[in-house]
């Protein structure tokens, strides 16, 4: 799913390199991608119904295919995560430097800064960082001296 940031551009670049005939494959490639997404949705629905309390690829493989296969699945997920982050950061920085060409010489440092940011978010925990979503005013109500005298909203 994260490839949506760079995938379409890469597909069009490859098809454009093939010329006008290559661009004719845009619709079939788009339909193939839509079909793969439909299969993905159906697959996830099956996993959710089979494992309502949670369980990803590792749990499914462990239960149905055995320990060795589940360990291969877990290793594949770790590798996928690392490569996904690497490609996403690189694509994002490439888009940034194409919008701001003066940053082109600093792209390595920008990549490293984004990587540190992503690592920090993962180490901190999405749940803790997401608390701002649950408390959009940032907790400013705590500093309202009249908050206890006001009637609550219905």
Give Cα separations from 89 to 12, 55, 124 (angstroms). 20, 28, 19
Q: Are 58 and 77 in contact, with CB atoms under 8 Å apart?
A: yes
Mean pLDDT of the chain: 80
pTM of the predicted model as reported, rounded to 2 decimal places: 0.57
State residue 151's pLDDT score.
54
**Mean pLDDT throughout 4-16?**
76
Q: Does pLDDT of 148 surpass 70?
A: no
Q: Could you report the per-residue pLDDT of 94-133, keeping only the tens digit for each?
A: 889 999 999 999 999 999 999 999 888 877 776 666 665 5
State residue 138's pLDDT score.
52
**Helix, strand or coil for residue 150?**
coil
C-alpha 46/C-alpha 149 separation (Å) is: 51
**Mean pLDDT throughout 29-38?**
88
**Mean pLDDT throughout 146-152?**
53
State residue 14's pLDDT score.
85
């Amino acid at each position: 799913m994260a490839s949506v940031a760079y995938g379409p551009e890469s597909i069009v670049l490859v098809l454009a390199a093939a010329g006008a005939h290559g661009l004719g494959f845009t619709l079939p490639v788009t339909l193939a991608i839509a079909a793969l997404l439909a299969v993905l949705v159906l697959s996830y629905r099956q996993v959710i119904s089979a494992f309502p309390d949670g369980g990803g690829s590792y749990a499914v493989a462990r239960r149905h295919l055995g320990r060795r296969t589940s360990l291969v699945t877990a290793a594949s997920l770790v590798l996928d995560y690392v490569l996904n982050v690497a490609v996403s950061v690189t694509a994002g920085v490439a888009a940034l430097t194409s919008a701001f060409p003066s940053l082109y010489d600093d792209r390595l440092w920008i990549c490293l800064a984004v990587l540190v940011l992503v690592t920090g978010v993962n180490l901190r925990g999405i749940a803790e960082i997401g608390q701002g979503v649950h408390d959009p005013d940032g907790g400013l109500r705590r500093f309202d001296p009249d908050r206890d005298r006001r009637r609550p909203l219905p």
